Amino acid sequence: MAPDALAGLKVVEMGQLIAGPFAGKTLGDFGAEVIKIEPPGTGDPLRGWRLLKDGTSVWWQVQSRNKRSIALDLRSREGQDITRKLVARADVLIENFRPGTLEAWGMGYEALAKDNPGLVMLRISGYGQTGPYRDLPGFGAIGEAMGGLRHLTGEPGRVPVRCGISIGDTLAALHGTIGVLTALYHRKVNGGKGQVIDVALHEAVFNVMESLIPEYSAFGAVREPGGSALPGIAPSNAYRCGDGAVVLIAGNGDSIFKRLMSAIGREDLGRDPALADNAGRVRRVGEIDAAIEAWTLRRPSADVLALLGRAMVPAGRVYTAKDIAEDEHYRARDMILKQATRDGYEVDVPGIVPKLMGTPGRVRSSAPKLGDDTDAVLREIGLSADDIAALRVRKVVA
């Protein structure tokens, strides 16, 4: 068996909730050793978010797999000293505190890099480490709004809605992970030193906003919400079926459009030269959508998908959690994993993405209970059993 892709990489994770810890999870899935620092007594608030089983969030079981937990009071001088020792041995430090927090504790990058010049430090915050907004509190939802995503999410003329998950945090985490791996490559291949990766939540969202700003710059066009459609691309929409289900159909490629029109018995539209390209179809998108839905409404969703599948037209149902859990394709690609927990039960969790053929990611350990690894980690940096006991009495560690 090949070693894990990131075997030997040492990561200290000081973040809480979503953005920082998701970056840590991603590195851990591919073999990095991730030491998660949590506040004694309470731990990461994510432990208590959403649905709990045996007192702990089931979300925690996936977000914190492949990590070790040390319960350490970062606000105490002794806790900060211990953190410096941990970071001095690390390749990567992940934090998502408000800018200036680590500096106030004497743990800004310059201070930490004196003992570890190769340190790569991922800093995720609402607005970044610089700029006029840097000191404002920022959550993923605000990043989604400022980044331009929220304005486009929903029905025209109605209050924008969120997509249902903390997508701003996750986008920031993924950009942060890219930054970490890029900095590590530079350090190893180009003889570079460590560096800071500065990820702002709203910038991570803004980075995936496609043509939003070029269209405004060139035409003064402000893109508006399009509901279930993809404005400017046709046809691509959600359509009701005879059984009440909704299917998504993306027939927006020129050749795909012709196959779609043939499948629904509207060869006249498929042969219409005015609809041969996207620009023409956009001008008549209402007519096209009506034709497609007139066809889907006469059939159950299973028949719609079967017919479009044979015609090689991209289409799919809107999946619920139940649909995902029961789907054979998810199972065949190991995207639903049975994971044992340290509370004694098993739970299904998402599999690992992306899939590396030579060094695939894997779940090496289940999510830790608070402070599971405190003693072991402290011994690794040279503390004795008496030292640890004294720190525990003073509530520096737990």
Residue with structure tokens 């005015």?
A: 274
In this structure, the answer to whether residues 150 and 269 fall within a common structural domain is no
Which residues lie across from 336 on neighbouring strands?
350
Which pLDDT score is estimated for 194? 97
In this structure, the answer to whether residues 33 and 178 fall within a common structural domain is yes
Which pLDDT score is estimated for 86? 98
In this structure, the answer to whether residues 195 and 249 fall within a common structural domain is no
Q: Could you please report the per-residue DSSP string of 289-317?
A: HHHHHHHHTTS-HHHHHHHHHHTT--EEE
354 preceded by cis ω (within 30°)?
A: yes
In this structure, the answer to whether residues 132 and 188 fall within a common structural domain is yes
In this structure, the answer to whether residues 253 and 381 fall within a common structural domain is no
CATH number for the domain harbouring residue 282: 3.30.1540.10
In this structure, the answer to whether residues 39 and 99 fall within a common structural domain is yes
In this structure, the answer to whether residues 297 and 336 fall within a common structural domain is no
Beta strands in the chain (DSSP E): 10-13, 33-38, 52-53, 56-57, 67-71, 92-95, 120-125, 195-200, 236-240, 246-250, 315-317, 336-340, 346-350
Q: How far apart are CA 292 and CA 290, in angstroms?
A: 5
In this structure, the answer to whether residues 129 and 21 fall within a common structural domain is yes
Tens-digit pLDDT profile for the chain (398 aa)?
779 999 999 999 998 999 999 999 999 999 999 999 999 999 999 999 999 999 999 999 999 999 999 999 999 999 999 999 999 999 999 999 999 999 999 999 999 999 999 999 999 999 999 999 999 999 999 999 999 999 999 899 999 998 999 999 999 999 999 999 999 999 999 988 999 999 999 999 999 999 999 999 999 999 999 999 988 999 999 999 999 999 999 999 999 999 999 999 999 999 999 999 999 999 999 999 999 999 999 999 999 999 999 999 999 999 999 999 999 999 999 999 999 999 999 999 999 999 999 999 999 999 999 999 999 999 999 999 999 999 999 999 99
In this structure, the answer to whether residues 339 and 256 fall within a common structural domain is no
Task: Answer whether residue 69 is part of any domain.
Answer: yes
Structural domains in the chain (count): 2
Which pLDDT score is estimated for 2? 79
**Residue 103: other Cβ atoms inside 10 A:** 14
Task: Answer whether residue 5 is part of any domain.
Answer: no
Q: How many CA atoms lie within 13 A of 322 on its CB side?
A: 0
Single out the residue of 127, 275, 290, 101 nearest to residue 201, CA to CA: 127
CATH number for the domain harbouring residue 66: 3.40.50.10540
Q: Which of 317, 339, 368 is the last residue of a domain?
A: 317
Task: Answer whether residue 326 is part of any domain.
Answer: no
Active-site annotation holds for 169? yes
Given 44, 91, 169, 372, the catalytic residue = 169
Q: Which of 317, 346, 376 is the last residue of a domain?
A: 317
Q: Could you list the residue range(s) of the whole structural domain that residue 261 is in?
A: 236-317
Residues 6+ apart with CB under 8 A from 244: none
In this structure, the answer to whether residues 245 and 382 fall within a common structural domain is no
pTM of the full predicted structure? Answer: 0.94
Q: Which of 317, 341, 363 is the last residue of a domain?
A: 317
